Amino acid sequence: MTVIWEPQLDSTSLQWQEKAKVLTDQYFAPAADAIDRDQRYPIEHLTPLLESGVSGMFIPTDYGGGGSTLTALVSAVETIAQGCGSTAAIMAALSLGAFPVLLGGSEPHKQALLGGLARKGEAVNFALSERNAGSDAASIEAVAVPEKNGWRIRGEKCWLGNGGHSEHFIVFARTGEPGSRNNITAFWVPRNTPGAVVDFYEDKMGIRGTTTTNLKLDVWVPEVNVLGEKGRGLRLALSTLNVGRVVVAAQALGIALCSYQEAARFANSRKTFGRHIIEHQGIGFMLANAATRLSAARMMLYETAKAYDESQDISTLGAMTKLFASEVAHDVCDDAMQILGGRGYVKPNDVERCYRDQRITELYEGTSEIQRLVIARSIQRESQSNAG
């Protein structure tokens, strides 16, 4: 029995988790420090991810993927994150780009985009955020207007995770007046479309092995490139984020588990005043709190993934999971740094890297404040319904 709670996975999920562990031990973890130091996209990781099927594990088998459950996906992402937060973020970005196609794409969209991802590793990117429309996604300024049996899309997208190595973009743009209902539509924009320019790479605090970019657009796409229903793009984006938040929670917990394990090892080897420092309550209680909260967060993560796999609505539960997991991860990484002291503050060190990698999990796929807003609105609706 382990101190940290372990999920009881089915045989198929265990197989995916084991594949992820083998890849992490062989490729991802040994390269993590160098990738972070050089801020280099680990292109050499794409081949083992593709050949093992892990990069397309969540794609239905009809399109060449592994047909895995969300439970299996989060177990793989969590495992990879324990070795390399950047590679886990690449996996999270692959799934985030694919889910709007899964949820709203036509059969030709799925054959082209999901099939391309599963069989050839062609990444699809989720292009929603803008400089003036991050948390407030309904305020996007990119505009699409009808032109010659298609659409002219103009605007700029930012903070595109994996954007520098994506072959396709799912771009969300306004197709109605600002403030009107149902005024946003999703479009498939191939990277090689004239007028689509990836023009800026962010210099990031953490997950430095990912390529986070801008995308400038002055493009024409045919009518068949509309993804889902016209005017229903925001609903599609939010449905995608419901799933993406659960994957980010897995990433956060994997990073936190790495820090916790390193801190526990150090506390059992470092001595002060004639005793291992874990025997001092100040340190032992930190680790006890970390183990308890990590276990609780993992229980929530895997129950939420199970609920999704059973076709339940996870819009509120997913927000709770992402909020709790990311903030537990924050505290665990912070305490691990404190336990290691000066050794944890200098490079190269897993705890130092995890401390920086974790922070983004409280920001993307909706900040902690947005998660609280989602939860508060659910509480309000439930209270009003009960009062009625």
Domain layout of the chain by residue ranges: 11-121, 125-234, 236-383
The answer to whether domain 125-234 has CATH 1.10.260.40 is: no
* pLDDT score at 250: 98
Supply the pTM of this predicted model: 0.96
* pLDDT score at 310: 98
| pLDDT averages per 10-residue partition of the chain, 388 residues | 93 98 98 97 96 98 98 98 98 96 97 96 96 88 96 97 95 86 92 96 96 97 97 96 97 98 97 94 98 98 98 98 98 98 95 98 96 97 88
The stretches of 270-367 forming alpha helices (DSSP H) are 281-309, 315-340, 342-345, 350-359
| Closest alpha carbon to 90 in 188, 207, 244 | 207
* pLDDT score at 177: 80
Q: How far is CA 332 from the centre of its chain?
A: 19
Dist. CA 337–CA 331, nearest whole Å: 10
Q: Which CATH number fits domain 11-121: 1.10.274.10, 1.10.8.60, 3.30.70.580, 1.10.540.10?
A: 1.10.540.10
Coil, strand or helix: which one is 232?
strand
Catalytic residue among 78, 365, 369, 382: 365
* pLDDT score at 21: 98
Q: How far is CA 153 from CA 172, 175, 183, in A?
A: 10, 10, 14
Q: Is 122 assigned a catalytic role?
A: no
- Please, what's the b/e burial string for 287-305 (b: 16 or more CB within 10 A of its CB; e: otherwise)? beebbebbbebbebbbebb
Dist. CA 250–CA 307, nearest whole Å: 15
For residue 279, what are the contacts with CB-CB under 8 A and spacing of at least 6? none
Q: Which CATH number fits domain 236-383: 3.30.230.70, 3.40.710.10, 1.20.140.10, 1.20.1290.10?
A: 1.20.140.10
* pLDDT score at 179: 67
Which conformational region is residue 124 in: left (phi greater than 0), alpha (psi within -120 to 50 degrees), or beta?
Answer: beta
